[in-house]
Homo-oligomer: A and B are copies of this chain.
Amino acid sequence: MSVRVRLDLGYDGTDFAGWAAQPGQRTVEGELSRALTTLLRAPEPVRLTVAGRTDAGVHARGQVVHADVDEAAYLAVVGRSRRSPEEAAVVRLRGLLGSDILVHRVCRAPAGFDARFAAVWRRYSYRIADSLSTADPVRRRDTVWLPDPVDVDVMNQASAGLLGLKDFAAFCKRRAGATTVRTLLDFSWARGADGVVEARVVADAFCHSMVRSLVGSVVPVGLGREDAAWPGQVQAAAARNGRVKVMPAHGLCLEEVGYPADAALADRARESRARRDGA
């Protein structure tokens, strides 16, 4: 008997070659699959399905993964402790993973759950320190430093023009047969108490490099080098634009993934699968 398990996790992307397993590289998928395989004494590597396939250097606080595992092996994780399999798995995984990955929660997934296809939205953040006085060496791994100050109000104007159901081909790495139509639900900027400017970017799903390209189209507006209508014009052209810089990976973090109520999971997964090929 197999059981579908949901894992919620965070990681510091600095020392990973991204999410996706690659031979000879340290990846989040590779490390997590190895740890789960050991934990469950599985005869073959445990296969994972992820909500957001992050690139090399990108962080996550609210990543979601599912795996279909042998039920007897899952129940056996408890061992001689008095913990539930869920708690025991969290504790044992901490011992099997480096300090830069933390599985916060393990649970049996509700019926119809699929970490990738049942997700309704993904939320990312992007952090920019735009003056030396706000650049903090303690956070240099998750914050991009710009030498010149940005205007947050004009960036919000520019970003608002990108919201909605649109073809984001201008911001996506092309993949044959994959649609680049997405619904951008939120794209807004705020300066925090620490002076750092942070973008909040929410969409039903993102294509490859999309968040970093969206941010890269709005930063020149904040710097006064492009006007606020420019990112919208780039989007409307629906083709990669050489003037849009893909921003550095380390400013980006997958914050949260949203799922519908349990009863709606299976319908949502079916619909996502039919409409596009994912994440």
Q: Judge whether B12 and A137 touch: CB under 8 Å.
A: yes
Q: Could you tell me the distance between the alpha carbons of A102 and B12 in the complex, rounded to whole angstroms?
A: 22
Q: Judge whether A10 and B136 touch: CB under 8 Å.
A: yes
A163 shortest CB reach to chain B, Å: 24
Please, which residue of chain B has its CB at the minimum distance from the CB of A145? B102
A198 shortest CB reach to chain B, Å: 12
**Residue A116 is within 8 A (CB to CB) of chain B in the complex:** no
Q: Known interface pairs A90-B132, A132-B90. Does A12 touch B104 (Cβ–Cβ under 8 Å)?
A: no
Please, which residue of chain B has its CB at the minimum distance from the CB of A94? B132
Chain A residues 5-64 with CB under 8 Å of chain B are 10-12, 59, 61
Please, which residue of chain B has its CB at the minimum distance from the CB of A100? B137
Chain A residues 85-124 with CB under 8 Å of chain B are 90, 99-102, 104-105
Interface size class of A (residues with CB under 8 A): 20 to 34
In the complex, which residues of chain B have a beta carbon less than 8 angstroms from the beta carbon of A245? none
Chain A residues 129-155 with CB under 8 Å of chain B are 132-133, 135-142
Report which of B104, B133, B137 forms a contact with A135, defined as CB distance below 8 A: B104
**Residue A199 is within 8 A (CB to CB) of chain B in the complex:** no
Q: Could you tell me the distance between the alpha carbons of A102 and B11 in the complex, rounded to whole angstroms?
A: 25
Q: Judge whether B253 and A138 touch: CB under 8 Å.
A: yes
This chain: how many copies in the complex? Answer: 2
> A10, A11, A90 — which one has the most chain B CB atoms within 10 A of its CB?
A10
Q: Could you tell me the distance between the alpha carbons of A190 and B102 in the complex, rounded to whole angstroms?
A: 24
A83 shortest CB reach to chain B, Å: 13
In the complex, which residues of chain B have a beta carbon less than 8 angstroms from the beta carbon of A142? 138
Report which of B10, B90, B133 forms a contact with A138, defined as CB distance below 8 A: B10
Report which of B59, B61, B104, B138 forms a contact with A132, defined as CB distance below 8 A: B104
Q: Judge whether A101 and B132 touch: CB under 8 Å.
A: no
> A101, A133, A137 — which one has the most chain B CB atoms within 10 A of its CB?
A137
Q: Judge whether B133 and A104 touch: CB under 8 Å.
A: yes
Report which of B99, B137, B139, B140 forms a contact with A140, defined as CB distance below 8 A: B99
Q: Judge whether B138 and A61 touch: CB under 8 Å.
A: yes
21 example contacts (A-B, Cβ-Cβ < 8 A) are as follows A10-B136, A10-B137, A10-B138, A11-B137, A11-B138, A12-B137, A12-B138, A12-B140, A59-B137, A59-B138, A61-B138, A99-B140, A100-B137, A100-B140, A101-B137, A102-B132, A102-B135, A138-B141, A138-B142, A138-B253, A139-B139
